[in-house]
Structure 1
Amino acid sequence: MEVQLPDDFRCPISLEVMTDPVILSSGHTFDRASIQRWLDVGNRTCPVTKLPLPPSPSLTPNYALRSLISSYLARRPSAASSSDGHLDSLLLARFSFPSDAPTLSAVLRLAQRGGAASRRLVADSGAISVLIRHADVADRSDLQHLALRALLHISLDGDHARLGLLAEGALDPVVSALRGDPAAALAATLLTSLSIIDVNKATIGAHPASIPRLAALLSDGDERQRREAATALYELCKFAENRRRAVRAGAVAPLVRFAGEGSERAVRVLGLLAKCREGKDEMRKKAGFVRVLADVVRTGSPRGVEHALVVLNLVCSDSQEMAFEAIKVGVLDLCSVLTTDMNQKIGKNAMELALRLGIFSSPCTITKIGQ
């Protein structure tokens, strides 16, 4: 059914909902584009009253009516429950900075529930730049949160959308939102989505504050913030250069601590960092590192065990000290059991680690594992 709008919202000339209402000297309100066309062809009478107008009629913005129309459009049902796509276009045409919570909520609903076509409508309307500006308003956390959520849903529209968001300048405000305030977890989630494509991994990692702030959030944030920061680092560190950046930013210590608390994602990030020399060196400096990974092997989920074995393999590969430490905390005994695990990846990784550690153990142990 067609959405019923108050007649006062419609221009007397075009009969469409006004996007820029202005008051003519006769006292009647028209949409600016419509009345301007009326005047440009030489008409000097009011279209409603037919009374004569001054030689140069003034057009005074009707801010009160504009606000009423904006509020109505923002509070109407979402696009999923309305067939009038024209109202969506009107909402986006009137969307500007600064906006208010109801209008941002309406744009969010459009991006969130309207499907791919609605997300593209938001992107094509120029609303992204307005959302990005609101994402940078730290003193209005309610508006910032709504804007970040809308940007996150737009980013889910595919690689083109992810590239477009960075091209529009989304990176600076998103990184700025990682400072530990209520929007930090959401900002980290958005970075994860943006970094899915390789070129964005490089761009985001090269930002001087992105990885350091994720590392700080991993260290000082609440549980959700730490989880989202670890997820973002995992995606970013698939790009080799970002692994070194994460190590330099101090990510190893909080990752080890988080892994010790049962975070499988932290173990997976450590697995990526252990692929670079700087990462292995930093892990070897961390007291209790091997014991934490041994506990994961002993009690973790199958995926956690698999990745903990990968990390231990990498760290012990060229370090006699780490190998002896692993043997001391019982990793070799664990591997002798896990070599027959039904999970082929766990069995393979356990065999490789057992053979590596066996070099520093007794010959009988090596024989036992080989059998």
Structure 2
Amino acid sequence: MAREKRTEQLFVTVPSFFRCPISMDVMKSPVSLCTGVTYDRSSIEKWLALGHNTCPATMQTLPSTNTTPNLTLRRLIHLWISQADITPAISKQEAADVINGEFDSNSLTKMIGFINSSEENLKFVALSNHAVPKLVEAFAKSDSMRVLELIVEVLDLISMENAVREKLNELILKSDGITDYLSSFNLVLQKGNTESKVKSARILELMAVNSDSQRKIAEKAGLLHELYSLCSVETETSAVEAGLSALLAISTSRSVKKELIRFGMVKTVGKILSGYDYSSAVRAVIEKSLKMLEMVATCTEGRGAISEDRECVVEIVKRLMKCSRAATEHGITVLWSVCCLARDGTAQENVAKVNGFTRVLLVMQSDCSSNTRLMCGELVKVLREKNMKSNLAPYETKTTHITPY
């Protein structure tokens, strides 16, 4: 019992810089990219193998995808593990016994230790015929929050395997047990720790692979609001990003977008944009926040809510050319939607008052997409008229105050 309590405590008190920014698990082989960010080797190799040429944490384009072992951090992790007296990973036979037995906090903790030990062990569990079905069943039936959190951790670890994602959709989204399963996700998002909430959101995002799964997740009573709360109430960057990512994955219908607008998503995104600094560490959050606004701006209600929120409009303008090309293009699309498509005079004036005319011109002259350049052209025409009517200063060529991304 003492060993179980000590092991459970370790999952709560792991130093944050020992965790991989992608998997959120303790790094076994920490390696650094040229951006200076360190990841677990297996996680970053999967990211790069998918064809990405950016750093996941900063979204900076990588001039080189070479990785350098972070030996100092590896020594620190090994020292922490030895001092924490973490139980060595169980054998494959013991892992098989755990999979075929009853799940409790002790057996699930052993399985997590086994999976974290090697990529081979991860695949052993992920490709097991019984692991995912039994985890799903236990997740639907358990009334222990600790057990639910541990199951979420196991599913998060193995969900990157294609076979697992397919099996999850088959067992959960296309079966009679979907209600109970999604109710358990709801419970974890309501009462679980922040780490479990983040992992739950990630799993739901992976499950939202088609219109059917997106609809079923979005229509589950309370689940949409809990994901919204993750990015509106939680303060940790990882939680905000996970909430936004999951909502972007499932909010494809107009009814869901209208529900998010009713919750106050536009105001929430405005606060996110104004509350975060301009560091590269929060780039993904800013990009997804602006992408969220672009998504809700595709419906009349969304454009109206954005136009009415002066803080949100002002923050969009301030973020142009300050984060990344993707963030800037999302921002331009939103401004075009409210200023040109909706022709909202209040939004036009608010953009003009914060030097939006100059910033849009800068974007137009930058390395942006052709579609973005066309939207910039229409915005320039509208904002030029507002500038002239409000006697604002003409276009100023001194633009060194705007730092390009």
TM-score by length of 2: 0.62
Where 1:341 maps in the other structure, the secondary structure is: coil
- Cα RMSD of the aligned pairs, angstroms, is 3.0
Alpha-carbon deviation of 1:291?
A: 0.8
Q: Distance in 1 between matches of 2:223 and 2:298?
A: 21
Counterpart selection for 2:187 from 176, 180, 191: 176
Q: Do the aligned partners of residues 134 and 266 (structure 1) sit closer, same or farther apart at CA in structure 2, a change above 3 Å counting?
A: farther
Contiguous gaps of at least 5 residues in structure 1: 1-74
The sequence identity of aligned pairs, in percent, is 15
Alpha-carbon deviation of 1:125?
A: 6.9
Q: Distance in 2 between matches of 1:135 and 1:359?
A: 62
Counterpart selection for 2:219 from 187, 191, 206: 206
* 1:183-231 deviation line (CA, Å, top 9, x unaligned): 3222222222222333211111111211111222222112232221111
Report the equivalent of 1:157.
161
Q: Distance in 2 between matches of 1:284 and 1:269?
A: 15
Report the equivalent of 1:357.
383
Q: Is the 8 A contact 1:260 1:296 kept in 2?
A: no
Q: Is the 8 A contact 2:297 2:337 kept in 1?
A: yes
Alpha-carbon deviation of 1:235?
A: 1.4
Where 1:121 maps in the other structure, the secondary structure is: coil
Matched, 1:313 2:298: no
Counterpart selection for 1:100 from 96, 105, 108: 105
Aligned length, in residue pairs: 282
Q: Distance in 1 between matches of 2:251 and 2:357?
A: 29
Alignment of 1:1-371 (within 5 A): 77-78=89-90, 82=92, 86-96=93-103, 99-101=104-106, 103-109=107-113, 113=119, 114-116=121-123, 118-121=125-128, 123=130, 126-133=133-140, 137-138=144-145, 140=146, 143-158=147-162, 159-163=165-169, 164-166=171-173, 167=175, 168-169=177-178, 170-179=181-190, 181-182=192-193, 183-223=196-236, 224-262=238-276, 263-316=286-339, 317-318=341-342, 319-344=344-369, 346-358=372-384, 360-362=386-388
Q: Is the 8 A contact 2:258 2:301 kept in 1?
A: yes
Alpha-carbon deviation of 1:155?
A: 3.4
Q: Distance in 2 between matches of 1:125 and 1:332?
A: 54
Contiguous gaps of at least 5 residues in structure 2: 1-86, 277-285, 396-405
Where 1:299 maps in the other structure, the secondary structure is: coil
Alpha-carbon deviation of 1:146?
A: 1.5
* 1:257-306 deviation line (CA, Å, top 9, x unaligned): 11223422111111101111111122222232211111111523222111
Alpha-carbon deviation of 1:123?
A: 4.3
For residue 120 of structure 1, what is the amino acid of its counterpart? L
